[in-house]
Amino acid sequence: MNRKLLVVAAGLLIAQAGKAQFHIGVKGGVNLSKVQGRSFKEEFNTGYHLGGFAEIGLGKKFAIQPELLFNQYQTRTDTSFSQVYSNVFSDASSGNVKLNYLSVPILLNYKLGTSFALQAGPQFGVLMNKDENLLQNGQRAFKGGDFSMLGGVQLSLSKIRIQGRYAVGLNDINDVTTTSKWKSQAIQLSLGLAL
């Protein structure tokens, strides 16, 4: 009985995939990002993202949109940072921190009409490098990964894609101490071209 259900489900998926619209493309845009946590400024700072995407249609209303992006997040520390973390950072008063991630968002698109879609899904990020100005004795300040949830909108005008999203970090990216949690937040504005 289970095998029959599995065969029927696989057949339906294959049939659906045959009807699915498939697009690939490139995109880039602006990140307005910050790290929420003790001794970080509560202001968004400008970075950027660049990469590619695929759109896999799942019927009339839904699509899956996996992406591969280079994401640069920037944040600033406040004046108390050097006092709170003085034993870890060599120049904690420098203020600017850049975090470069290789990110993989996997979004579910819900289409509202022919041009507009709501987007939501997880984003997995691997820290590629970080601003070394803050590190002392080679100690890592930020964890190697960031898991976020995304929500936003997409406007499709022929081959042009215009996107606005909000990303909220779910895991603690602080690799220095367990007493203070650091979580990323970002607003992403993108322009893409489906090929």
pLDDT category at 79 given cuts 50, 70, 90 is low
Within-domain flag for 8: no
Residue 3 has pLDDT above 80, yes or no: no
Mean pLDDT of 11-22: 61
What b/e string do you get for 140-165 counting C-beta neighbours within 10 Å, with b at 16 or more? Answer: ebbeeebebebebebebeeeebbbeb
What lies within 8 Å, CB to CB, of 138 at 6+ separation is none
The Cα–Cα gap between 114 and 67 comes to 21
Within-domain flag for 59: yes
pLDDT category at 129 given cuts 50, 70, 90 is confident
The mean pLDDT of the chain is: 81
Q: Helix, strand, coil proportions of the chain in percent (round to 5)?
A: 15, 60, 25
Within-domain flag for 12: no
Within-domain flag for 13: no
What lies within 8 Å, CB to CB, of 178 at 6+ separation is none
pLDDT category at 116 given cuts 50, 70, 90 is very high
Taking CA atoms, 123 is separated from 106, 131, 156, in Å, by 6, 22, 21
Within-domain flag for 28: yes
Q: What is the CATH number of the domain that holds 50?
A: 2.40.160.20
Full domain range(s) for residue 165: 18-172+179-194
Mean pLDDT of 131-155: 73
Residue 92 has pLDDT above 50, yes or no: no
Helix (H, G, I), strand (E, B) or coil at 38: coil
What is the count of structural domains for the chain? Answer: 1
Within-domain flag for 4: no
Within-domain flag for 44: yes
Within-domain flag for 2: no
